[in-house]
Amino acid sequence: MANNLEGKTIAILATDGVEQVELTKPKKALEDAGAKTEVISPADKKLKGWDMKDWGEEIAVDVPLKSADPSKYDALLLPGGAMNPDKLRMDPDAVKFVKHFFDESKPVASICHGPWMLVETGAVKGRTVTSWPSLKTDIQNAGGTWVDKEVVVSNGVVTSRNPDDIPAFNREMIDLFSKGTKTSGQKEPKAA
């Protein structure tokens, strides 16, 4: 059944400074579609969210990154916020965790500044992605094609620009994850 995530376990990788709504709203949408979600973080018990212009709520960590096994997850969600992915891309364990999903051809969803992790793992090469506009040059320099659209699906990866895009992001993420569409290292053909 389309958009049914029963039996799937989704990893959500985040740390302090994650844009709160980019974690909480997609997490709820995944759970409403039947998935089990687990927040994974370098923080052991809680991380601190960012709420647009100031610190937000504490978010419980389900699995510390140091003990997280990426092979037990069916898909990965990478929420944004400027601080969150900037910290994660400097953490070798976080980069290794994300890289596993691409090495194993598992679907990934990333929003806002989250695609920095795709750049760090080399996963944007040959993909069309969107993001917060300040990542445009990083994505292009890493071999990706950047576009300004609310949501883009490319070779098993869903990306969006910002919190306003969450409804479209959630819809496409759930659709991709429900199909079990796998990531691919192959470049998409250009439109004629």
Active site residue ranges: 112-113
Q: Outline where DSSP puts E strands in the chain.
A: 9-13, 18-19, 36-41, 46-51, 54-60, 63-64, 75-78, 108-111, 128-129, 145-146, 151-154, 157-160
- From CA 90, how far away is CA 47, in angstroms rounded? 17
Phi, psi of 168 (to 5 degrees): -70, -40
What's the length of the chain? 192
Q: Which is it for strands 128-129 and 145-146: parallel, antiparallel or unpaired?
A: parallel
Count CB atoms within 10 A of the CB of residue 109. Answer: 28
Q: Which of 91, 65, 92 is nearest to 76 (CA)?
A: 65
